[in-house]
Structure 1
Amino acid sequence: MNREEAFDQAIKLIADLPCQREVIDFWDMPAVRSDGDRAKWRAAADRLIGIGQKVAPDLAEYFEIWASDAAVGAKDLDRGLALMPLPGLGGRASLRASNILDLKLSLGRPPAARDITALFGPKVTKFGRENLLRVEQFIQLQLDERAAHGNPVDIVHWTQDAHQHKAGYSLFNGHPSYLVVQPPGGWHFSYSKRAEAECMALIRDAENTWREESDLPRVGEGWISETRLYYELKAAFPALDVLQHHRPDWLGRQHLDIAIPSLRTAIEFQGAQHDLPVAFFGGEDAFIRTQERDRRKLGKCRKQGWRLFYAREGYDLTDLIAQIVEPR
């Protein structure tokens, strides 16, 4: 099917959908007053998917988005989310990411790593851009670990300063009609400074973690153990600030896995590659680089009067806590 024929079919299909025409405002809303109305909207989603399967791959995405919109118009937000194509890796797609997040907000679901990187673009260094998939994997690990410990990224928090379309969620962008629906709420999260700060922190943390752990073949394995230790220490010292990936100015580009600033104490989680050369982890060359980083970090900590403790797989938490609270 050629481009003109595909869009002609889709435009007519959408124009024939049952809608509630607004007299005062210039936008319309889906009419789903009966099972028959809803069935027409659902059928439109199916037909738009079919059109997308008959066009060139670079055009298919337009019809996939409209199919998602038809499902949302039928009040089937789950299907709308499932049909919405993901933004591509490495680009900024603020509108698409906002729509996905708007659907997830309505459904009570957390954001995913691709939502985070697409909302404002993955603002990373050249190294990060060359390793975007790895960076994204670390972001997802952060999101999963936070959710597992009852501290998920909260999309509701972002609505405090995001822009909201007063009529709701826009359907069929690029189509001659102007249709809106509620729910979702019609949020544009790319206007939110709260969202931007949190997304940028997640992206920066992920890139810096990958920089330090780029010798690891199993992405994030050490990070998960480190994060588990972080939450254990946070619970052990509830009255103190326990920070993960703390970056004091004096440490330069490195970070402290876990830090308790009031005690001038840091804790590093050490995998096997910190203690001996392991071929699977990059061999002798990687081991030399890792040891040099470790020496540099320890030296900077001592110069600043910080204690640095090491935790390895199988660590004894009680013993580690006893070392931390022991007087200097």
Structure 2
Amino acid sequence: MNSESIQRVPIAAIKGRGAASWLPHRFHTEAREVFDDGWEPEESDPHVPATTVSWEEPRSAIAHNDSPDVFFERSVNPYRGCEHGCIYCYARPTHSYLGLSPGLDFETRLIAKRNIAGVLKAELARPRYEARTLAVGTVTDCYQPVERELRLTRDIIQLLHDCAHPLTLVTKSSGVERDIDLLAPMAGRRLASVFITLTTLDAGLTRKLEPRAAAPHRRLRTIRALADAGIPVGVSLAPQIPFLTEDLEQVLEAAWEAGARSAFYHVLRLPWELSPLFREWLQVHYPQRAERVMARVQDMRGGKDYDSDFATRMKGSGPWAELIGQRFRRACDRLGFNRERLVLDASAFRRPRLDGQQALFD
């Protein structure tokens, strides 16, 4: 069969999933294309993948970051992959190191880190360990749906609560409300803060962009619940996508009304396989807008889909990037965001004991 006789099957949206295909990862040695052989599809559609969870035995818990454009130095991530299925997620290419697709595998083949809290406890107990704020869930969401049963994030927070270790976490899930009983007393001692990601108030766009994440109105309720509990809460408007997430000012207004008092944003990043995945997503959901969106993305990246330069990768460069920055700063100034910088307190940290005993005078 020659290439001209192949009838390629159009990529289509998959209900409840962000990616539309199993895009091969960059280490793949073979490439395959789907074609229509004329047979009617069976009733059980193989293109509707279920979620599976595998266990990993982690050798370490704390990841160290030295990137100058990232706000945290240390982080803990209990999961690899994320069922929320956000098509823009910069962590998708990390699935390539597992020999899995950054496309559908990333959101359907999840890896949970068994006893991550126990591994973390051993690291905190080391004599030379110095307490500094730990960022929880910085790569993939620590409150994705499987957390309801596995409770790995809950175990981490419980450990940090018990040894008075400061933490901050970022999520787009209302699941964080289940841990208010731990986070609220920590916040009262300047040990905890939470950021809720809210890219847009457009529920229709959210269902396509972040298909298994909480709806915008539900995230605003979560901000309110956290703020009412006395937990410092901020809002993340990351990523900003030209001609798609156009309601930046309205998002900030709604978040402020709900109780958020700090805010930050990034513009869309498309490293490695994320670029073809996002282009594919645009063709599925916004074909008339796809060329215009990518042209503006490239305007902010020096003519490329992505530029990894530390000075510009988060905010972009050029007039379009500056326009987004100006809109964000003016809205924040008008509303009152970021007027006070929250500094979490690590001075009360109590090193955990590995023998099950409590330290003297705890």
Question: TM-score range, shorter-chain basis?
Answer: under 0.3
In proportion to residue count, which structure has more helix? 1
**Structure with the greater relative contact order (CA < 8 A, sep ≥ 6): 1 or 2?**
2
TM-score by length of 2: 0.22
